[in-house]
Structure 1
């Protein structure tokens, strides 16, 4: 639901802050006052392209902020979650136009391209009239309206599931066929690669151990020489550290001084640790050997592994994993001929099952289309278009490629006079007629509508009297379960609203300015009286206005 609009420096509006509620809100004002400015500002925050001349003289930029409450709008919340832009139940849209021509957009405080605002806007607002956000023009929306109205969710899910199964089999077949790559060449390459790797690759642990062995064998000579020199210095030479340490310890023992007890104990421990260290060195030397042949073999094996790792673009220790993946692919391709034959059979069965489900869905759609068209035609007759007729066409193409939505092309077509051919809504109906058709459709599908805010731009164009009151009542009915904004110049429509905004234009220091005001009850009475006509607002006119307002709210 649209909660708040803030406008600053937009055409002839210096500043406007408008709080909105649910129900029906009428926007009224004298001709030329700029009643559509509010919708134009809203459109900019929903991704409309900015035209020229929107920034007034003396201002360097235009700024528009719009706040929506999406607590009861699961489609908008899901879209925001997918984009990682959800902010609890609040949705803030901001648009800034600079005099330089630069335009900026934000969604919940984050800069976004206009396309993001436009996509989100499809879940927030539906504008009926000559506006870019009129979703009724889009074929996918027409299909969604019919499907929501029809109430055949099980048939839709059957088609979606049949399509998922068909698509899974089709994708598997494409993979097995190699996406265009020659099957025989791929099979030959895989066999060569597997054979080459199997000749040298064992496990990742073996490769790591082989690398450690190479380092040990390569440095064996140096290790032996260094360890032997250390043993000689520590133990074996005439002047070895072990002998010197023993002599020092004996001399200290002979002094028999209690103050040297700590030093004697530490030196004795050092002798023990020195002997243990020498034993470890001897043990290490016993395990060392200089084996040039083994070293050559190990280095050759490591070189081969390194070359293979480079060829397969992995590390040497990842070669076993690579080998396993190639084995699996090879096994799959070797069985591909058999599997491809199975897939052809399974695909044919899946295609048949899908087309049967799609045909059943098409039957449900055809039934619902007649019911929906009948309901809409009854409503547009009440709305002053007695000669108009709408048809919901369900075109079924049994040979089309499967899709998740079935094999039908849904089209809402209309003619406004019996002697005219049926045609697309946007080509046949005028702006006012489109708005009334949109109203009829909204009323007919109110219980399944997905968009919580609807805007009607002068749905009462060319009407008057009783028909205008019917339009107003229908808009009020819609407002009972949704938010409805209606631009109107007729008192019969405005009187039906739950809330009313007045758009006024005046001169300020030689400049034309527009002000938007939320009307209180007595102010509403005077505005309805003004709309009823006459040079002067008489007491009779005011009483008539009060009567209209009371009758609407009764």
Structure 2
């Protein structure tokens, strides 16, 4: 509940601090006294847009502090905990606005953006005025009212999750498409090139190896002669290198008077290297093919490689890598097509699941609408519309795209008089009817487990008599589980309140100020008499005022 409201330098208010009753409070006073200014100050504290015009003439800035007791408001407590702003059962919201229109806001002493405060306010206060009645005509708001009254919050959440799943799958499909799907022509060309390279079967490094083989084959005869002569010189000739190295080693080993062991080791190693060189020459000699047909085979293979490389626009030495790249691209396309097929199946299943849940939600909304229609119809009968019939039309539209709130179009309908056909509320209801329907909806849809603050800013305009008395009684009924504030000109409504605040206006020097005073019982009777009979108070108006007050006791 709203425990205390502090206002400083706001429009006509110099400085005001007022404590509130936990149940029903009314604000009354002459027109222009500033009753709605207090509601405006509360709205600013709750994050509504502000500007420098809000600042009064009594200081440099406006300051508003609203203190709430949220012991029984579980929704507000959870929100504060989620935002790490909780401070037990007490909630203090403070706001300042300077001459430049700049605003600062705090929640429990911590700086907080106005947008977050506005989000918090949805769990704290509902303010209803002529503007809010206009909002009642909006189909979106009508759907929210119906969903709040129904017992399908879990199903609505499942529908929302189903839509998120659909959107996630569609996003993945779009990303896959953007990642590089191929046209039929592109795919056909790449597949042809890949098949051509598969048939070529070019191994890694083969082109370079074949070039080297061509050089070797072209000089095969000369190479054989050179290798034969070299092998002969190294080991086969009478004075071969190996034989001469052996003779030198033998002489040094038998020489006396000098140590030639180090030199002998060097010669040993030289002899081993000569023998190894001979073996390598023998191996390479065996590999040389002097057959002209072999040279022709190499030339044909190189020509084949070069032809395909030129055909596919690739350097011959890069053809093997190009082959691998084509294979990867085709595999990716295959995987992409496979994944797209899988995603398409997932999407179809997700859409089927969504449609089933949306249809079930529509059925439950229809049932909730019937119950809500009965409750509101009964209440508007008590509010001076005895022939009115309120109804909720739920039209399921399965062919529309999936939406987080389902595929229902909700329309509040009213037949104000007997025999009339029900028409949309937005087309037929008058301002006075909307005021009463709005009040009936609030009472019918209130949540018993969430103690909230309801503010009715002159929503009883255009009614009187027994209807006005019933409006006051219904507001009083609403205050059994909530805190209710009403700005009113009707004594029947004011008489139902548990606390009565009189807003007055007076001039002091160059400034006009508004003040608020709690009225005791005699003062309340006098104010109710003024409201019902004007400035001239008679015994009759006083007697009537006492009746109004007794009605609200």
Residue 182 of structure 1 pairs with residue 172 of structure 2: no
Match of 1:59 in 2: 59
Match of 2:146 in 1: 146
Deviates more, 1:527-536 or 1:31-40: 527-536
Q: Residue 401 of structure 1 aligns to a residue in which SS?
A: coil
* Alignment check: 8 A CA contact 1:48 1:132 kept: no
Match of 1:16 in 2: 16
CA distance in 2 between counterparts of 1:486 and 1:353 reads: 46
Residue 513 of structure 1 pairs with residue 513 of structure 2: yes
* Alignment check: 8 A CA contact 1:128 1:435 kept: no
Note the C-alpha offset of 1:460: 2.0
Residue 483 of structure 1 pairs with residue 518 of structure 2: no
* Alignment check: 8 A CA contact 2:411 2:424 kept: no
Note the C-alpha offset of 1:34: 1.8
Q: CA RMSD in A?
A: 3.6
For residues 485 and 535 of structure 1, do their structure 2 counterparts lie closer, same or farther at Cα, with a shift above 3 Å needed? closer
CA distance in 1 between counterparts of 2:440 and 2:384 reads: 11
* Alignment check: 8 A CA contact 1:12 1:512 kept: yes
Note the C-alpha offset of 1:115: 2.5
Match of 2:29 in 1: 29
Note the C-alpha offset of 1:74: 3.1
For residues 435 and 534 of structure 1, do their structure 2 counterparts lie closer, same or farther at Cα, with a shift above 3 Å needed? closer
Q: How does 1:260-271 map to 2 (within 5 A)?
A: none
Q: Residue 497 of structure 1 aligns to a residue in which SS?
A: coil
Note the C-alpha offset of 1:17: 0.7
Q: How does 1:339-354 map to 2 (within 5 A)?
A: 339-354=339-354
CA distance in 1 between counterparts of 2:28 and 2:429 reads: 24
Q: Residue 441 of structure 2 aligns to a residue in which SS?
A: helix
Q: Residue 401 of structure 2 aligns to a residue in which SS?
A: coil
Match of 1:304 in 2: none
CA distance in 1 between counterparts of 2:497 and 2:541 reads: 19
Match of 2:470 in 1: 470
Larger radius of gyration: 2
Q: Residue 442 of structure 2 aligns to a residue in which SS?
A: helix
Note the C-alpha offset of 1:18: 1.2
* Alignment check: 8 A CA contact 1:149 1:448 kept: no
Deviates more, 1:472-481 or 1:412-421: 412-421
* Alignment check: 8 A CA contact 1:45 1:65 kept: yes
CA distance in 1 between counterparts of 2:135 and 2:534 reads: 39
Deviations 1:187-239 (A, max 9, x none): x9xxxxxxxxxxxxxxxxxxxxxxxxxxxxxxxxxxxxxxxxxxxxxxxxxxx
Deviations 1:496-525 (A, max 9, x none): 111111111223235322111122333323
Match of 1:492 in 2: 492
Match of 1:355 in 2: 355
Match of 1:252 in 2: none
CA distance in 2 between counterparts of 1:428 and 1:18 reads: 41
Deviations 1:453-475 (A, max 9, x none): 11111122122211110111111
CA distance in 1 between counterparts of 2:456 and 2:21 reads: 16
Match of 2:71 in 1: 71
Q: How does 1:59-138 map to 2 (within 5 A)?
A: 59-131=59-131, 136=136
* Alignment check: 8 A CA contact 2:21 2:498 kept: no
Note the C-alpha offset of 1:416: 6.6
Q: How does 1:120-519 map to 2 (within 5 A)?
A: 120-131=120-131, 136=136, 139-153=139-153, 155-160=155-160, 162-163=162-163, 165-167=165-167, 169-174=169-174, 177=176, 180-183=178-181, 335-385=335-385, 390-412=390-412, 422=423, 425=426, 432-447=432-447, 452-509=452-509, 511-519=511-519
Q: Residue 123 of structure 1 aligns to a residue in which SS?
A: coil
Deviates more, 1:358-367 or 1:111-120: 111-120
Note the C-alpha offset of 1:373: 3.0
Match of 2:44 in 1: 44
Deviates more, 1:53-62 or 1:484-493: 53-62
CA distance in 2 between counterparts of 1:464 and 1:433 reads: 13
Deviates more, 1:103-112 or 1:497-506: 103-112
* Aligned length, in residue pairs: 410
The runs of 5 or more residues in structure 2 that have no matched partner are 184-189, 191-329
For residues 395 and 57 of structure 1, do their structure 2 counterparts lie closer, same or farther at Cα, with a shift above 3 Å needed? same
For residues 7 and 501 of structure 1, do their structure 2 counterparts lie closer, same or farther at Cα, with a shift above 3 Å needed? same
CA distance in 1 between counterparts of 2:163 and 2:100 reads: 50
Q: Residue 351 of structure 2 aligns to a residue in which SS?
A: helix
Deviates more, 1:539-548 or 1:13-22: 539-548
CA distance in 2 between counterparts of 1:154 and 1:116 reads: 25
CA distance in 2 between counterparts of 1:146 and 1:405 reads: 12
Match of 2:203 in 1: none
CA distance in 2 between counterparts of 1:521 and 1:389 reads: 39
CA distance in 1 between counterparts of 2:65 and 2:415 reads: 39
For residues 142 and 78 of structure 1, do their structure 2 counterparts lie closer, same or farther at Cα, with a shift above 3 Å needed? farther
CA distance in 2 between counterparts of 1:64 and 1:119 reads: 18
Q: Residue 468 of structure 1 aligns to a residue in which SS?
A: helix
Q: Residue 181 of structure 1 aligns to a residue in which SS?
A: helix
Match of 1:271 in 2: none
The runs of 5 or more residues in structure 1 that have no matched partner are 189-329
* Alignment check: 8 A CA contact 1:126 1:451 kept: no
CA distance in 2 between counterparts of 1:122 and 1:4 reads: 19
CA distance in 2 between counterparts of 1:50 and 1:428 reads: 34
